[in-house]
Amino acid sequence: MKIIPQPKKFEKICGSFTINQDCYIYCDKEFKSQAERLVGMVLTSTGINVTFTDEIDNAKIIFSKYEDCGDEAYIVMLSQDILTVKANTFSGCFYAVETLRQLFELDSEQQEISCVNCYIEDRPKYVHRGLLIDICRHFYGTGVLKQIIDIMSQVKLNKLHLHLSDDQGFRVQIDKYPLLNTVSSMRDGSEVVKNGKKYVEEEPHGGYLTKDEIREIVKYAAERAIDVIPEIDIPGHSVAALAAYPEYSCAGQIAEVRKQWGISKDILCAGNDGVYAFVCGILDEVCELFPSKYIHLGGDEVPKDRWCNCKLCREKLAELHLKDFDELQTYMVEVFRKHLEEKGKTVICWNDGITDTTDKKIISQVWKPFTNKDGIKDANNGRKVIMSPFFRTYFDYPYAMTPLSKTLRFKPDKGVKKVNRANVLGVEGCLWTEYVDSVDKLFFNLLPRVDVLSECAWGYRGRSIKKRIQSRFEIYDKMNVVCNKSGLRSKRNIRLINKFFKKNANIELERYLGKGKEKTL
């Protein structure tokens, strides 16, 4: 069976099940939307109109509520000429329909659809099965985000992490601070690795999501069992915001929204009370827009140079009797954590922004030190963690550096003591977009990596993954998105990695699309 991700339990049963004109469908009220979704897919695929009935005894397809099913779990059974779907939640039922879509190949046109009888019992191993999209370095709007959501939902990923603020752009409408949209959302140029060198190309780039667009995305995602988690990165990665509101930096002046990538020393001042009000004002509007229980506060890559030289920051350190500036960052995050807790939110931070004194309620998203070593430590120390190890789940890098096998072989809770394994909430793939400057590149880098990510996140790696991934290719072709079909053969290649970093960041995509000048590769 070509199902991605591999279900927990799959058993073939004798015989087969056919959906035809004589099929009636019965469903518990709660699952009407999903039963209708299945009926719609069957109609599109075959022209067959499956009719609803109120009489369960007349039905060949039955959707029923089953309270013993776990939160995202479902059962699908095809046997004795009856197709049964059981679930306890919207998500579980949604996933059952996605499994049926793959089983019956409902994305293809067919006359009549049949499938071998089987029993499927499925439940994800991890509650957090996420994908980060950085819309700061390069902006992608609702059209692309909806396509990403469609794909995520097909492979049962459930958390879309939107990276909304960084040095190179601020991407969400905030009414209280309008300059964040007029000034912080635009930059005059971007660093590129092209034509054999690295330089700044002076071409304006920008955009942001309006409040209506965010609401649209959140709703679209929720209908597909996906929670959208916003990230406002503080106190570092804030140059775009500071370019509009320089009074919140230590020196009081920031020239422009950053064009180069990498880490800026300019960060929010921790000694200025106005900064706390500024960030809370932004967070309040963000919380109103995103119903998610989670909010990400970044906290990664925060050089303390400016704080060391700032009178206000030094005074704050002394006043709070803190040991160093890392603890000052911890203090700052704690102010916002408490503010957000009052709104029922749980904070996530990147692990390099977390210290021994960081409140245990903060979830650590582990990307450093390039393995999940710190994640194992954090989980064993009682902190909840999301694993995003750099060499396994950073999808902005070439396949020559991060082949599919790296993601596939990753076991998020490996190394964590059995009693602490529940602290590993799951895994998240990250698409940073410094060098993702086109929609083609975005999907090329994501596909088929998200298929593999999902197999890792559901936790039941099955056999013949390559064949199962290939079954996705036709779907991606139909969606008109670029998928790296050669990715299945990807292997580490130092020469190509060097070219990516020094000469041409689009080298793999260009080769794949046949646009590259082969002799210069």
Residues that bind ligand ACM (CB under 6 A): 300-301, 350, 367
Give whichever of 50 and 297 is closer to ligand ACM, judged by the CB atom.
297
Nearest one of 383, 505, 478, 372 to 428, comparing CA atoms: 372
Asked whether position 243 contacts Zn ion by CB under 5 A, the answer is: no
CB-based burial, 389-420: b 16+ in 10 Å, e otherwise = bbebbbbbbbbbbbbbebbbebebbeebeeeb
Residue 301 interaction partner, one of ligand ACM, Zn ion, none, beta carbon < 5-8 Å per kind: ligand ACM
* Shortest Å distance, C-beta 125 to Zn ion: 44
Joined together, the tokens standing for residue 271 give 């000694």
Residue 349 interaction partner, one of ligand ACM, Zn ion, none, beta carbon < 5-8 Å per kind: none
> What DSSP line would sit under 291-352, residue for residue?
--SEEE----S---HHHHT-HHHHHHHHHTT-SSHHHHHHHHHHHHHHHHHTTT-EEEEEGG
Cβ neighbourhood burial of 492 (10 Å; 0-12, 13-18, 19+) = middle
* Shortest Å distance, C-beta 349 to Zn ion: 20
Give whichever of 216 and 301 is closer to ligand ACM, judged by the CB atom.
301
Joined together, the tokens standing for residue 137 give 């370095």
Asked whether position 250 contacts Zn ion by CB under 5 A, the answer is: yes
Residue 350 interaction partner, one of ligand ACM, Zn ion, none, beta carbon < 5-8 Å per kind: ligand ACM
Asked whether position 234 contacts Zn ion by CB under 5 A, the answer is: no
Asked whether position 313 contacts Zn ion by CB under 5 A, the answer is: yes
Give the separation between CA 152 and CA 390, rounded to whole angstroms.
Answer: 20
Residue 41 interaction partner, one of Zn ion, ligand ACM, none, beta carbon < 5-8 Å per kind: none
> Three-state SS for 161?
strand
Give the separation between CA 177 and CA 280, rounded to whole angstroms.
Answer: 12
Residue 159 phi, psi (nearest 5): -130, 115
Rounded to the nearest 10°, the torsion over CA 79, 81, 87, 90 is: 140
Give whichever of 121 and 301 is closer to ligand ACM, judged by the CB atom.
301
Give the separation between CA 125 and CA 360, rounded to whole angstroms.
Answer: 23
Give whichever of 352 and 455 is closer to ligand ACM, judged by the CB atom.
352
Residue 510 interaction partner, one of ligand ACM, Zn ion, none, beta carbon < 5-8 Å per kind: none
Give whichever of 300 and 327 is closer to ligand ACM, judged by the CB atom.
300
Residue 209 interaction partner, one of Zn ion, ligand ACM, none, beta carbon < 5-8 Å per kind: none
Asked whether position 271 contacts Zn ion by CB under 5 A, the answer is: yes
Residue 487 interaction partner, one of Zn ion, ligand ACM, none, beta carbon < 5-8 Å per kind: none
Give whichever of 78 and 270 is closer to Zn ion, judged by the CB atom.
270
Residue 300 interaction partner, one of Zn ion, ligand ACM, none, beta carbon < 5-8 Å per kind: ligand ACM
* Shortest Å distance, C-beta 191 to ligand ACM: 16
Residue 313 interaction partner, one of ligand ACM, Zn ion, none, beta carbon < 5-8 Å per kind: Zn ion
Hey, which residues between 100 and 129 contact Zn ion (CB under 5 A)? none
Of 310, 340, 447, 488, the residue at the interface with Zn ion (CB under 5 A) is: 310
* Shortest Å distance, C-beta 230 to ligand ACM: 15
Asked whether position 302 contacts Zn ion by CB under 5 A, the answer is: no
The total of other beta-carbon atoms located within 10 Å of residue 147's CB is 18
* Shortest Å distance, C-beta 415 to ligand ACM: 21
Residue 469 interaction partner, one of ligand ACM, Zn ion, none, beta carbon < 5-8 Å per kind: none
Joined together, the tokens standing for residue 184 give 């912080």
Give whichever of 87 and 234 is closer to ligand ACM, judged by the CB atom.
234
The CA-based diameter of the chain, rounded to the nearest angstrom, is 79
Asked whether position 236 contacts Zn ion by CB under 5 A, the answer is: no
> What DSSP line would sit under 284-307, residue for residue?
HHHHHH---SEEE----S---HHH
* Shortest Å distance, C-beta 301 to ligand ACM: 5
Give the separation between CA 100 and CA 107, rounded to whole angstroms.
Answer: 11
Q: Can you give 89-140 as a three-state secondary structure string?
A: CHHHHHHHHHHHHHHCCCCCCCCCEEEEEEEEEECCCCCEEEEEEECCCCCC
* Shortest Å distance, C-beta 310 to Zn ion: 3
Joined together, the tokens standing for residue 421 give 């394994």
Residue 269 interaction partner, one of Zn ion, ligand ACM, none, beta carbon < 5-8 Å per kind: Zn ion
* Shortest Å distance, C-beta 223 to ligand ACM: 29
Give the separation between CA 163 and CA 278, rounded to whole angstroms.
Answer: 19
> What DSSP line would sit under 199-263, residue for residue?
EEE---EE--B-HHHHHHHHHHHHTTT-EEEEE---SSS-HHHHHH-GGGBSSS---SS--S-S-
In single-letter form, the type of residue at position 418 comes to K
Give whichever of 104 and 170 is closer to ligand ACM, judged by the CB atom.
170
Asked whether position 269 contacts Zn ion by CB under 5 A, the answer is: yes
* Shortest Å distance, C-beta 244 to Zn ion: 18
Cβ neighbourhood burial of 318 (10 Å; 0-12, 13-18, 19+) = exposed
Number of H helices, E strands in the chain: 18, 21
Give whichever of 94 and 350 is closer to ligand ACM, judged by the CB atom.
350
Give whichever of 60 and 171 is closer to ligand ACM, judged by the CB atom.
171
Asked whether position 279 contacts Zn ion by CB under 5 A, the answer is: no
Interface with Zn ion (CB under 5 A): 250, 269, 271, 310, 312-313
